[in-house]
Structure 1
Amino acid sequence: MQVVHTAKPRVVPRDRLMRLPDVEATTGCKKSTIYKLMKEGKFPHCVRITARMAAWPEAAVLGWAQDRIAGEVQENASTECRTMKDQTTEQAEQRPRRLERRCDDAGENA
């Protein structure tokens, strides 16, 4: 028996294009955050399919998500979260004081 074709077929990695709703569902980020991160160079850029249609390579989006899960997030992101948490705690502590002031003001005006 004689083999006519000895070269192995070229294997192309399977990838698909994800539209925005799929990207949002995969990352947990909304449209504005995705585009903001793209602009900052922190999220994979989209691929133009037509003049009015864009999509993201699935491998790039999943890779970005895996990097976040693996803890390869920049340290300033965790610092931002801590700062936001501190601000929220501070605001929560000030709420009862504001309510007390309003109640006192209402009592004086009555």
Structure 2
Amino acid sequence: MVSTLACLPQYPGLTAVHEDCPMSEVASGSPNSVAADAPIQFLRLPTVCARTGLSRSQVYRLEAEGRFPRRVKLALSTSAWVESEIQRWSAERIAASRGGE
């Protein structure tokens, strides 16, 4: 059974193959899609800072300016970033710094 994951409104095409297993997500062509065999991985702030080289305040400032991926609310007081979006942002920074090579 395939169901839409309403808990992730920023991914309108995201569906789950098994209702019981939210980590079995597959996408239907959205720009934020993931491979059917690759579960979505969430990164907490210390990991985002370590992978990007940005400080906590830089991450939040760039996010507020719309120049960094937005957080996903996982629970009442828990947020994280989607790993693939952080990787894409990093690749864009590398390309931009090298003149779009």
Give the TM-score taking structure 2 as reference length.
Answer: 0.58
Distance 2:66 2:48 in 1: 16
Percent identity for Structure 1 against Structure 2: 34
Distance 2:48 2:76 in 1: 19
Task: Report the counterpart of residue 39 of structure 1 in structure 2.
Answer: 64
Which residue number in structure 2 is paired with residue 69 of structure 1? 94
- Give the ranges of 4+ consecutive aligned residues of structure 1 lying more than 3 Å apart after TM superposition: none
Could you say which structure has the larger radius of gyration? 1
- Normalization by structure 1: what TM-score? 0.54
User: Structure 1 or 2: larger helix share?
Assistant: 1
Larger % of strand: which?
2
Q: Unaligned regions of 5+ residues in structure 2, if any?
A: 1-16, 18-25, 27-35
State the partner residue of 2:49: 24
Report the aligned-residue RMSD: 2.1
Higher relative contact order (CA 8 A, sep 6+): 1
Unpaired runs of 5+ in structure 1?
1-8, 74-110
Aligned pair partner of 2:83 in 19, 39, 58: 58
